[in-house]
């Protein structure tokens, strides 16, 4: 029987044939596809003709097409719907892919062709896009070790293969800890919990085969539990389990993996001639240097810490009034902050949540995209990889633009967090290939599913990433969509969050789950007025994580990352009742791969721009100003990585922004 991963996909929009694909198909498909890619690169390297852009760079762009198809399906499934076999395949694939990547990057004949093109680039008559692709290709070879020789070259290969193994193990350990822990709630354990939390806890219990409600380590469940549970002992127990993920001892403990990862990254940087891994990593980002990153983070840290400390005093007094002596602890913050929000803003999450139905928030995200970019969304009845996933065709003026897949509910087989990926990226090199884009979230199930305002913001955030993919309009896949520097990639996603807070959007789509009535004007006003509520807390937990990440990778690699983490936090004066958003053993952004290593700051770097960019809309004709929407699409969303991001932003806005818009937007000035 033909392997469905290797055959032509005679499916609507050439979607992967999910119903035909079995886990057993991935390994043989991988072997065939990687062999085909290896042969394609060998043909390019051995080509007797003089190197040209077409026979070298363009050919390399197409060399891994089959491998890309297999891996895009596999890694989407492995992240969103893991199985024991998929986890085993991840462990098998990761070192093989790292070895293959090194084999290509360190192919002397291949690099010689790229080097020749680079050295004669001014005489090649390249388009701007081609020049960018050539630069990125040459830089990628150099940074991957193409200029190394002898023992240094072989050692770098070993380091990269080991790092790939460590990243996979880190992710899988975290998934196991998150999947296996849960706390059953008896009838005496439910005090303070509103119906929507109980409904989510009962649904989680069903998934765990428990007859009754449970608390799991999914953020979508544990966060509201910490907000509402009047049982301080249970809050402490649940919070303790949450922060212990990856640090429970035994086979799933991530602390040793983190230490080895940091040591190997330092060695990698040294082999390539950099003083630190942070210096190596940031060279290609907008920030450029660790000093620039630290400068931004510290500009935000001090006002955020001051706000958080002031808030902590208020919350501690509330706790003491309840007869609880001692310090405000991390498992108390959300509980008393929720009480304070009710007092100061008259906002009750239990009252608010019925107005934030998942389906209506999806409609809101789509409607904003329609008004801004003329996109239309039509539901598709097609087989997908899980019953929770659903799909839409995206069109503009009758033309097919993309397939969008939304997978919104938490489950034990899904890694935590939220993300956007592409099962197929846009390109025009060999025909007009349109993307298949996936948004994955971890919301609590319900009938109907109800979101917190933070959940709704997450939905808009990930859809902003999706728009970056769907509106991409470049020739080469290597610069398509979100293929941009890490500290620029969050601009479209964080910018799109602003449309959730546009009053007319909520007036239309925030409708009550039972009555269908729109959110009352007074509640809407109170919700938006509370937009910066508790911003000291959220800013401190984020910036602390970003600064620890930076210090891990700038300077000597710590032999004990937990001790280094404690040292950094003590130096910063971390407020007692706030923890890092992602402590080291759970810091998947940093340790599951290189993506956000030394770059967790990038959300804030992008936020400087997104605050300024939305201000541009407000200064023009408002949130849906057509000229600004056109500029945003032309210079950012459709451009992918075709130009330097600073050039793209300046083309959109006319200048680069300062930090003041961010501080103002967070209510920290």
Instruction: Please give the positions annotated as active site.
Output: 462
Neighbour count for residue 202 (Cβ, 10 Å): 17
The count of C-alpha atoms lying within 13 angstroms of the C-alpha of 312, restricted to the half-sphere facing its C-beta, is 22
Q: How far is CA 137 from CA 120, 142, 287, 289, 473, in A?
A: 15, 9, 21, 22, 20
Q: What phi-psi label fits residue 70: left (phi over 0), alpha (psi between -120 and 50 degrees) or beta?
A: alpha
- CA of residue 593 relative to chain centroid, distance: 12
Both tokens assigned to 493: 């996603």
Q: What is the DSSP letter of 327?
A: -
The CA distances from residue 280 to 239, 265, 434, 582, 600, in Å, are 36, 10, 34, 23, 15
If residue 183 lies in a helix (H) or strand (E), which one and from where to where?
Answer: strand 182-184
User: In whole angstroms, what is the distance from residue 432 CA to residue 36 CA?
Assistant: 23
φ/ψ of residue 161, rounded to 5: -65, -40
Question: Where in 285-443 does DSSP place strands (E)?
Answer: 376-380, 390-396, 399-409, 419-424, 436-443
Burial of residue 539 (number of CB atoms within 10 Å: 0-12, 13-18, 19+): buried
Selection from 433, 434, 408, 438 nearest residue 423 by Cα: 438
By CB atoms closer than 10 A (0-12, 13-18, 19+), residue 257 is buried
Q: Which residue, among 538, 666, 559, has the nearest Cα to 610 in the 3D structure?
A: 666
| 3-state secondary structure (DSSP) of residue 85 | helix
**CA–CA dist 202, 198 (Å, integer):** 6
Q: Give the closest residue to 606 by CA, choosing from 659, 669, 654.
A: 659
Residue 115 is encoded by which pair of tokens? Answer: 């080097």
Question: How would DSSP label each residue in 184-252?
Answer: E--GGG-TT--HHHHHHHHHHHHHTT-SS-EEES-HHHHHHHHHH---HHHHHHHHHHHHTTT-SSGGG
Q: Which residues are within 8 A (CB) of 369 and not within 5 positions of it... i.e. 6 or more apart?
A: 375, 377, 463, 467
Q: Are 540 and 303 in contact (CB under 8 A)?
A: no
């Amino acid at each position: 029987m033909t392997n469905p991963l290797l055959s032509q996909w005679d499916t609507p929009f050439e979607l992967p044939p999910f119903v035909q694909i079995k886990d057993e198909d991935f390994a043989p498909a991988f072997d065939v596809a990687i062999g085909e890619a290896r042969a394609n690169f060998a043909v390019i390297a051995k080509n007797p003709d003089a190197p040209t852009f077409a026979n070298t760079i363009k050919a390399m762009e197409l060399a891994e097409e089959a491998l890309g198809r297999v891996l895009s399906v596999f890694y989407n499934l492995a992240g969103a719907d893991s199985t024991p076999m998929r986890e085993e395949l991840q462990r098998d694939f990761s070192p093989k892919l790292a070895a293959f990547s090194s084999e290509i990057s360190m192919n002397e004949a291949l690099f010689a062709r790229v080097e020749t093109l680079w050295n004669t680039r001014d005489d090649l008559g390249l388009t701007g896009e081609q020049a960018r692709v050539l630069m990125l290709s040459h830089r990628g070879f150099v940074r991957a070790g193409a200029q190394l020789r002898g023992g240094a070259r072989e050692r770098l290969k070993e380091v990269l293969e080991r790092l790939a193994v460590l990243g996979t193990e880190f992710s899988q350990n975290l998934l196991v800890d998150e999947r296996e822990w849960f706390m059953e709630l008896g009838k005496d354990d439910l005090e303070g919990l509103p119906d929507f939390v109980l409904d989510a806890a009962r649904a989680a219990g069903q998934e765990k085969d428990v007859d009754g409600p449970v608390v799991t380590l999914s953020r979508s469940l544990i966060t509201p539990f910490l907000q509402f549970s009047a049982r301080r002992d249970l809050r402490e127990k649940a919070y303790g389990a949450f922060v212990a993920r990856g640090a429970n001892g035994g086979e799933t403990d991530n602390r040793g993996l983190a230490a080895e990862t940091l040591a190997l990254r330092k060695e990698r940087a040294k082999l390539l001639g950099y003083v630190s891994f942070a210096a190596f990593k940031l060279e290609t980002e907008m920030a450029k240097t660790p000093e620039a990153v630290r400068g931004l983070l510290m500009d935000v840290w001090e006002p955020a810490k001051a706000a958080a400390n002031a808030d902590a005093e208020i919350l501690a007094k509330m706790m003491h009034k309840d007869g609880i002596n001692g310090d405000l602890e991390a498992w108390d913050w959300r509980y008393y902050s929720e009480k304070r929000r009710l007092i100061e803003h008259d906002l009750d999450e239990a009252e608010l949540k019925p107005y934030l139905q998942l389906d209506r928030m999806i409609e809101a995200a789509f409607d904003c995209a329609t008004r801004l970019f003329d996109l239309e969304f039509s539901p598709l009845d097609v087989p997908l990889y899980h019953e929770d996933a659903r799909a839409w065709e995206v069109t503009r003026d009758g033309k097919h633009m993309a397939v969008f897949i939304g997978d919104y509910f938490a489950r034990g087989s899904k890694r935590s967090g939220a993300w956007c990926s592409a099962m197929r990226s846009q390109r025009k090199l060999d025909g007009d290939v349109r993307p298949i884009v996936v948004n994955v979230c971890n919301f609590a199930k319900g009938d109907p599913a109800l979101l917190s305002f933070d959940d709704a913001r997450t939905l808009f955030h990930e859809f902003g990433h999706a728009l970056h993919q769907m509106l991409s309009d470049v020739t080469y896949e290597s610069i398509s969509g979100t293929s941009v520097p890490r500290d620029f990639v969050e601009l479209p996603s964080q910018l799109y969050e602003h449309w959730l807070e546009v009053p007319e959007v909520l007036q239309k789509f925030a409708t009550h789950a039972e009555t269908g009535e729109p959110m009352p004007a007074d509640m809407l006003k109170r919700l938006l007025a509370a937009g910066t509520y508790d911003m000291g807390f959220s800013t401190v937990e984020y910036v602390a994580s970003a600064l620890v990440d930076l210090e891990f990778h700038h300077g000597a690699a710590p032999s004990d990352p937990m001790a280094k983490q404690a040292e950094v936090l003590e130096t910063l004066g971390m407020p007692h009742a706030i923890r890092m958003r992602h402590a080291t053993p759970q810091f998947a952004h940093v340790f599951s791969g290189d993506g956000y290593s030394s770059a967790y700051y990038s959300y804030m770097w992008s936020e400087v721009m997104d605050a300024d960019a939305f201000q541009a809309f407000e200064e023009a004709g408002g949130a849906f100003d057509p000229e600004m929407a056109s500029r945003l699409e032309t210079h950012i969303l459709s451009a992918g990585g075709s130009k330097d991001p600073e050039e793209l932003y300046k083309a959109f806005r006319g200048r680069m922004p300062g930090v003041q818009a961010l501080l103002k937007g967070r209510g920290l000035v």
